[in-house]
Structure 1
């Protein structure tokens, strides 16, 4: 009967599914980390402020 699977088969399928979900999660986590490194709004704002200060003190 299809309802009665062997316990080992079910465990292998569950394990494979768990590994697939874990791999997907880790991929998304790495992508989020990379995005955060690229964006970093506070550092970008601080860099703009430093540049503005340099331009204000620059003598033409």
Structure 2
């Protein structure tokens, strides 16, 4: 990789905190399939579908974490139960 002078202009990725030499990513914040400003040509139905898919994947990841770390999952369940018992409406 060639050395850079202090006068060289950083790439867009480097200017926004990306590591030097990392590949350039097009689109909004590196999200594949999004090229313009958020909401430019996206319908509510598409946004709801993306949100539903994200929430399904998040729940799946939590279930996997609970399966591979049963002791931590049990402790979290007990903490949550205690928090719910002591919660004031």
- The two structures have a TM-score, normalised by structure 1, of 0.49
Normalising by structure 2, report the TM-score: 0.34
Identify the structure with the greater helix proportion.
1
* Rg larger in structure: 1
